[in-house]
DNA sequence: AATCCATTGTTATTTTAATCACAAAACAAG
DNA sequence: CTTGTTTTGTGATTAAAATAACAATGGATT
């Protein structure tokens, strides 16, 4: 994590706030109090206010936060006031699911290419894309100045492929492989592993 | 979260340790020091030792931890010394991907059924399963005493379906819908939302 | 214009988690 | 059997995060 003023945990909560604010926006609500938002996200109101105050106050005493304005500010803070291009590396089942999932596009992440080095996959269609060879990856990433990659290759290949991605300019990796990546400080890594989440939950389940 | 002696963050790290220990096991290594494990997972050795010490000491001074034994203990602690049956609710693209992903099975989570209420999906094959109607869900969960569900229905349906799952006995929900679920204290919920992770990473990316 | 009410922004406090530091234990070597 | 080396387990300390408390503010009401 890059050394910074604002705690990482706070940054992590902002997207959650955005999710609920978008919901309020769709419902046509114009103002929201920290208490109401708290109720929606299951986080204390005082913590929400504190989180937001890191970026300066944008609420109004007595009435609360303007939904549109707050959403707009959060978008800007999180650099989400633009479209981000994303490449998917690894076009197996998992990669396919990532490309075909439209949640990314809906939130401003455009998947522009999918790569694999398995000859049988290259040239095949995945969603709206045609799978490209890994040899084309570097050129594609650099030409489009892509900064974000989703890594869906087999675990054994993940560290090596991640290194390569960083070498060609990637600064954020959404890693679906269950392996810890050792990356330079200016490269972000997020781990997506539903199995780990399940393994945590079983701790709390009755032993029967 | 259930009120407990041991901090939730500690529980959350145990599955990560297991992941690496399994790797060492495959490599045939018999002993591991906290320092070596630390190197592998990117967490300080002192924190690993402290985490483990919550459950009593199972290392040997001077030599480290016996890989097989430690793995065994962690399995028991996390209730992973058994097979857990899981149902998937929602058999669209996402549900399909979850059923077909074999990472769950490999770690002892057996997906025994997939449900949907879309008539066109009911009866179709998803992986090795035949999609069942939601009307059959209650009977299936109760007959098999299933405690874990993966929730892959559309966001709008998620809260309602989650409530139903809890009513019929589910105690842990892996929620893929981007919505906060309000659940009783004895029900675990984990959120899987790769978009949130991406939105967090963009904060740290250069504004270009 | 004065009062009241709701709700923010922020300082102070408490709680929780991470890190440090070191004594105790295991084992190997002389 | 003593000495040296390694590495654990844990009490003490520091750092970080969450919570509480409340003054300040904006708007509504009389």
At A163 the pLDDT is 98
Query: What DSSP designation does B156 have?
Result: G
Q: How confident is the model at residue B207 (pLDDT cuts 50, 70, 90)?
A: confident
Q: List, for residues A123-174, the tens digit of each pLDDT value.
A: 999 999 999 999 999 999 999 999 999 999 999 999 999 999 999 999 999 9
* Nearest residue in A to B95, CA atom: A97
Coil, strand or helix at B166 = helix
B158 vs B207: CA distance, rounded Å: 35
Give the number of beta-carbon pairs within 8 Å between A and B. Answer: 171
What does the angle CA B106 – CA B107 – CA B113 come to, to the nearest 5 degrees?
75
Using the beta-carbon criterion (under 8 Å), do B200 and A80 form an inter-chain contact?
A: no
Structure tokens at A110: 């455009």
Q: What's the CA A8/C1' D28 distance, rounded, in angstroms?
A: 39
Q: List, for residues B32-44, the tens digit of each pLDDT value.
A: 999 999 999 999 9
Instruction: Report the Cα A125 to chain-centroid distance in Å.
Output: 24
Q: List, for residues A75-95, the tens digit of each pLDDT value.
A: 999 999 999 999 999 999 999
Residue B4 pLDDT exceeds 90 = no
Count of C-beta atoms within a 10 Å radius of residue A52? 23
At A207 the pLDDT is 80
Structure tokens at B37: 């494990």
* C1' of nucleotide C20: residue with nearest CA: B46
B59 vs B67: CA distance, rounded Å: 10
Q: Please give the mean pLDDT across all residues of chain B.
A: 95
Residue B145 pLDDT exceeds 50 = yes
Global pTM reads 0.94
At A4 the pLDDT is 53
**Those residues with Cβ within 8 angstroms of residue A163's Cβ, 6 or more apart along the chain or in another chain:** none
List the beta strands (DSSP E) in A62-177: 64-66, 84-89, 109-116, 125-126, 129-130, 132-133, 148-151, 172-175
**Those residues with Cβ within 8 angstroms of residue A58's Cβ, 6 or more apart along the chain or in another chain:** A52, A65, A66, A69, A70, A73
Q: List, for residues A47-65, the tens digit of each pLDDT value.
A: 999 999 999 888 999 999 9
Q: What share of chain A is helix, strand, coil (3-state, %, to 5)?
A: 45, 20, 35
Integer CA distances (angstroms), A166 to A144, A159, A188, B16, B199, in order? 15, 11, 10, 24, 19
Q: Scan for tokens 């991406």, then name that residue.
A: B198
* C1' of nucleotide D25: residue with nearest CA: A61
Residue A1 pLDDT exceeds 60 = no
- Which helix H or strand E contains B64, and what residues bound it? strand B64-66
What does the angle CA B21 – CA A171 – CA A176 come to, to the nearest 5 degrees?
40
At A58 the pLDDT is 87
**H-only helix segments in chain B:** 8-26, 34-41, 45-53, 67-77, 93-100, 103-106, 137-144, 158-167, 194-204
Give nearest nucleotide to A64 (CA–C1').
C7
Q: Say yes or no: Cβ of A22 under 7 A from any atom of strand C.
A: no
Q: Please give the mean pLDDT across all residues of chain A.
A: 95
**Those residues with Cβ within 8 angstroms of residue B15's Cβ, 6 or more apart along the chain or in another chain:** A195, A196, A199, A200, B78
Given a contact cutoff of 8 angstroms between Cβ atoms, the answer to whether A193 and A178 are in contact is yes
């Amino acid at each position: 994590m890059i050394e910074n003023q604002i705690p990482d945990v706070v940054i992590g909560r902002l997207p959650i706030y955005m999710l609920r604010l978008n919901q309020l926006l769709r419902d046509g609500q114009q103002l929201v109090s920290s208490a109401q938002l708290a109720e929606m996200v299951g986080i204390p109101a005082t913590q929400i206010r504190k989180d937001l105050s890191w970026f300066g106050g944008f609420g109004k005493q007595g009435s609360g936060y303007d939904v549109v304005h707050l959403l707009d500010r959060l978008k800007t803070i999180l650099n989400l006031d633009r479209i981000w291009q994303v490449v998917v590396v690894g076009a197996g089942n998992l990669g396919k699911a990532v490309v075909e999932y439209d949640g990314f596009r809906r939130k401003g992440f455009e998947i522009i290419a999918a790569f694999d080095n398995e000859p049988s996959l290259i040239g095949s269609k995945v969603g709206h894309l045609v799978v490209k060879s890994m040899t084309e990856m570097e050129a594609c990433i650099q030409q489009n100045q892509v900064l974000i990659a989703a890594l869906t290759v087999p675990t054994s290949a993940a560290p090596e492929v991640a290194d390569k991605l960083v070498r060609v300019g990637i600064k954020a990796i959404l890693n679906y492989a269950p392996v810890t990546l050792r990356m330079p400080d200016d490269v972000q890594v997020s781990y997506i592993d539903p199995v780990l989440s399940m393994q945590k939950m079983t701790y709390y389940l009755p032993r029967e």
